[in-house]
Amino acid sequence: MNLIIDIGNTLVKLAVFHQDNLLHKLVCKPEDIITEVQKLIDEFPKLKKGIISKVGKLKSSELEKTKNQIELLELNSKLKLPFKNLYATPDTLGVDRIALVSASVKQFPFNNVLIIDTGTCITYDFISSKNEYFGGAISPGIRLRYYALHNLTANLPLLDTEMPNNLIGDTTSSSIHSGVVFGVVKEIDGVIEEYQKKYSDLTVILTGGDANFLSNQLKNSIFANSNFLLEGLNFILEFNSD
Protein backbone atom coordinates (compact mmCIF):
# COMPACT_ATOMS: atom_id res chain seq x y z
CA MET A 1 0.00 0.00 0.00
CA ASN A 2 1.12 3.54 -0.79
CA LEU A 3 0.65 6.76 1.18
CA ILE A 4 0.23 9.88 -0.97
CA ILE A 5 0.77 13.33 0.57
CA ASP A 6 -0.06 16.36 -1.56
CA ILE A 7 0.69 19.67 0.18
CA GLY A 8 -1.01 22.43 -1.79
CA ASN A 9 -1.06 26.18 -1.37
CA THR A 10 -4.07 26.11 0.96
CA LEU A 11 -4.94 22.50 1.83
CA VAL A 12 -3.33 19.07 2.18
CA LYS A 13 -4.67 15.98 0.42
CA LEU A 14 -3.87 12.54 1.78
CA ALA A 15 -4.61 9.26 0.02
CA VAL A 16 -3.98 5.55 0.34
CA PHE A 17 -3.55 3.43 -2.79
CA HIS A 18 -3.30 -0.31 -3.27
CA GLN A 19 -1.63 -0.69 -6.65
CA ASP A 20 -3.78 1.56 -8.91
CA ASN A 21 -6.83 1.56 -6.66
CA LEU A 22 -7.65 4.57 -4.47
CA LEU A 23 -8.77 3.15 -1.12
CA HIS A 24 -9.05 6.28 0.99
CA LYS A 25 -8.79 10.05 0.57
CA LEU A 26 -9.11 13.00 2.92
CA VAL A 27 -8.43 16.73 2.91
CA CYS A 28 -7.03 18.57 5.94
CA LYS A 29 -5.45 21.85 6.94
CA PRO A 30 -1.62 22.04 6.94
CA GLU A 31 -1.51 22.28 10.74
CA ASP A 32 -3.32 18.93 11.02
CA ILE A 33 -1.08 16.95 8.67
CA ILE A 34 0.98 15.14 11.34
CA THR A 35 -2.10 13.94 13.23
CA GLU A 36 -3.94 12.83 10.08
CA VAL A 37 -0.93 11.02 8.59
CA GLN A 38 -0.45 9.10 11.84
CA LYS A 39 -4.12 8.10 11.81
CA LEU A 40 -3.70 6.65 8.32
CA ILE A 41 -0.56 4.73 9.28
CA ASP A 42 -2.43 3.28 12.25
CA GLU A 43 -5.52 2.48 10.16
CA PHE A 44 -3.56 0.92 7.28
CA PRO A 45 -0.70 -1.08 8.87
CA LYS A 46 0.32 -2.44 5.45
CA LEU A 47 1.54 1.01 4.38
CA LYS A 48 5.21 0.53 3.50
CA LYS A 49 6.09 3.47 1.27
CA GLY A 50 4.84 6.91 0.35
CA ILE A 51 5.49 10.04 -1.68
CA ILE A 52 5.19 13.69 -0.75
CA SER A 53 4.50 16.51 -3.19
CA LYS A 54 5.10 19.91 -1.63
CA VAL A 55 3.91 23.15 -3.19
CA GLY A 56 2.84 24.80 0.06
CA LYS A 57 5.11 25.46 3.02
CA LEU A 58 6.04 22.60 5.34
CA LYS A 59 9.18 22.11 7.37
CA SER A 60 10.98 18.85 6.54
CA SER A 61 11.33 18.14 10.28
CA GLU A 62 7.55 17.91 10.63
CA LEU A 63 7.47 14.55 8.85
CA GLU A 64 10.51 12.99 10.54
CA LYS A 65 8.35 10.54 12.50
CA THR A 66 6.59 9.49 9.31
CA LYS A 67 9.94 8.91 7.59
CA ASN A 68 10.91 6.59 10.44
CA GLN A 69 7.72 4.56 9.97
CA ILE A 70 7.54 4.21 6.18
CA GLU A 71 9.85 4.83 3.24
CA LEU A 72 8.92 8.36 2.12
CA LEU A 73 9.99 9.72 -1.27
CA GLU A 74 9.92 13.49 -1.90
CA LEU A 75 8.98 14.48 -5.43
CA ASN A 76 11.39 16.74 -7.33
CA SER A 77 12.66 17.18 -10.88
CA LYS A 78 15.65 14.91 -10.19
CA LEU A 79 13.51 11.78 -9.79
CA LYS A 80 13.07 9.31 -12.61
CA LEU A 81 10.01 10.50 -14.54
CA PRO A 82 7.81 8.58 -17.01
CA PHE A 83 8.17 11.24 -19.72
CA LYS A 84 10.84 13.28 -21.50
CA ASN A 85 10.99 16.70 -19.85
CA LEU A 86 11.69 19.45 -22.40
CA TYR A 87 10.88 22.32 -20.03
CA ALA A 88 13.64 24.91 -20.43
CA THR A 89 14.04 25.30 -16.65
CA PRO A 90 13.20 21.83 -15.27
CA ASP A 91 14.32 22.70 -11.73
CA THR A 92 11.61 25.37 -11.54
CA LEU A 93 8.80 23.13 -12.75
CA GLY A 94 6.21 22.70 -10.00
CA VAL A 95 5.94 19.22 -8.55
CA ASP A 96 2.16 19.39 -8.90
CA ARG A 97 2.57 19.84 -12.65
CA ILE A 98 5.03 16.92 -12.79
CA ALA A 99 2.45 14.72 -11.07
CA LEU A 100 -0.35 15.76 -13.42
CA VAL A 101 1.72 15.06 -16.52
CA SER A 102 2.70 11.67 -15.09
CA ALA A 103 -0.96 10.80 -14.56
CA SER A 104 -1.67 11.59 -18.21
CA VAL A 105 1.14 9.26 -19.28
CA LYS A 106 -0.39 6.49 -17.20
CA GLN A 107 -3.98 6.94 -18.39
CA PHE A 108 -3.51 8.28 -21.93
CA PRO A 109 -0.17 6.93 -23.18
CA PHE A 110 1.12 8.29 -26.50
CA ASN A 111 -1.67 10.85 -26.81
CA ASN A 112 -1.54 14.62 -27.23
CA VAL A 113 -2.86 15.69 -23.83
CA LEU A 114 -3.65 19.07 -22.31
CA ILE A 115 -4.06 18.94 -18.52
CA ILE A 116 -5.88 21.87 -16.91
CA ASP A 117 -5.63 22.11 -13.14
CA THR A 118 -8.09 24.58 -11.62
CA GLY A 119 -6.74 25.22 -8.15
CA THR A 120 -5.32 28.32 -6.49
CA CYS A 121 -3.70 28.89 -9.87
CA ILE A 122 -4.94 27.53 -13.17
CA THR A 123 -2.15 25.59 -14.84
CA TYR A 124 -2.07 24.30 -18.39
CA ASP A 125 0.35 21.48 -19.23
CA PHE A 126 0.89 19.82 -22.60
CA ILE A 127 2.50 16.48 -23.37
CA SER A 128 2.75 15.19 -26.93
CA SER A 129 1.98 11.79 -28.40
CA LYS A 130 5.76 11.25 -28.46
CA ASN A 131 5.78 11.39 -24.64
CA GLU A 132 7.50 14.78 -24.66
CA TYR A 133 6.50 17.43 -22.13
CA PHE A 134 6.82 20.99 -23.45
CA GLY A 135 5.28 23.18 -20.74
CA GLY A 136 2.11 25.26 -20.76
CA ALA A 137 0.80 28.27 -18.87
CA ILE A 138 -0.09 29.57 -15.40
CA SER A 139 -2.85 32.06 -14.61
CA PRO A 140 -4.79 33.13 -11.48
CA GLY A 141 -7.47 30.73 -10.26
CA ILE A 142 -11.04 31.66 -9.38
CA ARG A 143 -10.41 32.49 -5.72
CA LEU A 144 -7.27 34.49 -6.58
CA ARG A 145 -9.36 36.63 -8.92
CA TYR A 146 -11.95 37.33 -6.23
CA TYR A 147 -9.19 38.16 -3.73
CA ALA A 148 -7.37 40.41 -6.20
CA LEU A 149 -10.50 42.43 -6.94
CA HIS A 150 -11.09 42.92 -3.21
CA ASN A 151 -7.51 43.46 -2.03
CA LEU A 152 -6.27 45.67 -4.86
CA THR A 153 -9.26 48.02 -4.99
CA ALA A 154 -10.79 50.36 -2.43
CA ASN A 155 -14.46 49.40 -2.50
CA LEU A 156 -15.06 46.01 -4.11
CA PRO A 157 -16.31 43.34 -1.68
CA LEU A 158 -14.80 39.87 -1.20
CA LEU A 159 -17.43 37.39 -2.40
CA ASP A 160 -17.84 33.65 -2.14
CA THR A 161 -17.58 31.79 -5.44
CA GLU A 162 -20.93 31.70 -7.21
CA MET A 163 -22.11 30.79 -10.69
CA PRO A 164 -23.57 33.95 -12.24
CA ASN A 165 -27.15 33.90 -13.50
CA ASN A 166 -26.55 36.33 -16.33
CA LEU A 167 -23.70 37.55 -18.49
CA ILE A 168 -24.68 41.14 -17.74
CA GLY A 169 -24.32 41.91 -14.04
CA ASP A 170 -26.82 44.49 -12.79
CA THR A 171 -25.23 44.90 -9.33
CA THR A 172 -21.63 45.16 -8.18
CA SER A 173 -21.76 41.61 -6.81
CA SER A 174 -23.31 40.08 -9.93
CA SER A 175 -20.83 42.01 -12.07
CA ILE A 176 -17.92 40.54 -10.10
CA HIS A 177 -19.34 36.99 -10.39
CA SER A 178 -19.82 37.47 -14.14
CA GLY A 179 -16.34 38.87 -14.63
CA VAL A 180 -14.56 36.23 -12.57
CA VAL A 181 -16.43 33.06 -13.50
CA PHE A 182 -17.24 33.76 -17.13
CA GLY A 183 -13.73 35.16 -17.52
CA VAL A 184 -12.24 31.85 -16.36
CA VAL A 185 -14.63 29.80 -18.50
CA LYS A 186 -13.85 31.80 -21.64
CA GLU A 187 -10.13 31.65 -20.90
CA ILE A 188 -10.16 27.86 -20.57
CA ASP A 189 -12.30 27.35 -23.67
CA GLY A 190 -10.06 29.74 -25.59
CA VAL A 191 -6.87 27.94 -24.58
CA ILE A 192 -8.37 24.56 -25.52
CA GLU A 193 -9.37 25.88 -28.94
CA GLU A 194 -5.87 27.22 -29.60
CA TYR A 195 -4.35 23.82 -28.80
CA GLN A 196 -6.95 22.06 -30.95
CA LYS A 197 -5.91 24.16 -33.94
CA LYS A 198 -2.48 22.57 -33.69
CA TYR A 199 -3.45 19.13 -32.35
CA SER A 200 -6.80 17.97 -33.76
CA ASP A 201 -6.67 14.73 -31.76
CA LEU A 202 -6.18 16.52 -28.44
CA THR A 203 -7.32 14.90 -25.18
CA VAL A 204 -8.24 17.43 -22.48
CA ILE A 205 -8.20 16.67 -18.75
CA LEU A 206 -9.82 19.02 -16.22
CA THR A 207 -8.87 18.56 -12.60
CA GLY A 208 -8.33 20.53 -9.39
CA GLY A 209 -10.58 22.00 -6.75
CA ASP A 210 -12.80 23.96 -9.15
CA ALA A 211 -13.10 21.22 -11.79
CA ASN A 212 -16.62 20.14 -10.84
CA PHE A 213 -17.77 23.75 -10.57
CA LEU A 214 -16.49 24.57 -14.07
CA SER A 215 -16.95 21.34 -16.03
CA ASN A 216 -20.58 21.89 -17.05
CA GLN A 217 -19.86 25.44 -18.21
CA LEU A 218 -17.18 24.55 -20.74
CA LYS A 219 -18.27 24.01 -24.33
CA ASN A 220 -15.31 21.79 -25.23
CA SER A 221 -15.25 18.05 -24.59
CA ILE A 222 -13.17 17.21 -21.51
CA PHE A 223 -12.44 14.43 -19.04
CA ALA A 224 -13.02 15.66 -15.49
CA ASN A 225 -11.03 13.85 -12.80
CA SER A 226 -10.62 15.40 -9.35
CA ASN A 227 -8.11 12.71 -8.27
CA PHE A 228 -5.77 13.09 -11.24
CA LEU A 229 -2.86 14.58 -9.26
CA LEU A 230 -3.07 11.89 -6.57
CA GLU A 231 -3.07 9.20 -9.25
CA GLY A 232 -0.03 10.79 -10.84
CA LEU A 233 1.86 10.80 -7.54
CA ASN A 234 1.03 7.15 -7.00
CA PHE A 235 2.31 6.34 -10.50
CA ILE A 236 5.58 8.21 -9.89
CA LEU A 237 6.08 6.33 -6.64
CA GLU A 238 5.58 2.99 -8.37
CA PHE A 239 7.75 4.11 -11.31
CA ASN A 240 10.63 4.84 -8.90
CA SER A 241 10.12 1.61 -6.97
CA ASP A 242 10.79 -0.72 -9.91
Known binding-site positions: 6-13, 87, 94-97, 117, 120, 172
Q: Which of 96, 125, 170, 242 is catalytic?
A: 96
Task: Please report, in range form, the residues annotated as the binding site for substrate.
Answer: 87, 94-97, 172
Residues with Cβ within 8 Å of 139's Cβ and at least 6 positions away in sequence, in order, are 121, 122, 187
d(CA 7, CA 14): 9
Please indicate whether residue 201 is annotated as part of the active site.
no
Secondary structure (DSSP) of 21-56 = EEEEEEEE-GGGHHHHHHHHHHH-TT--EEEEEESS
Question: Please, are residues 102 and 93 in contact by the beta-carbon 8 Å criterion?
Answer: no
234: helix, strand or coil: helix
CA nearest neighbour of 235 among 136, 112, 108, 145? 108
**Catalytic site residues?**
96
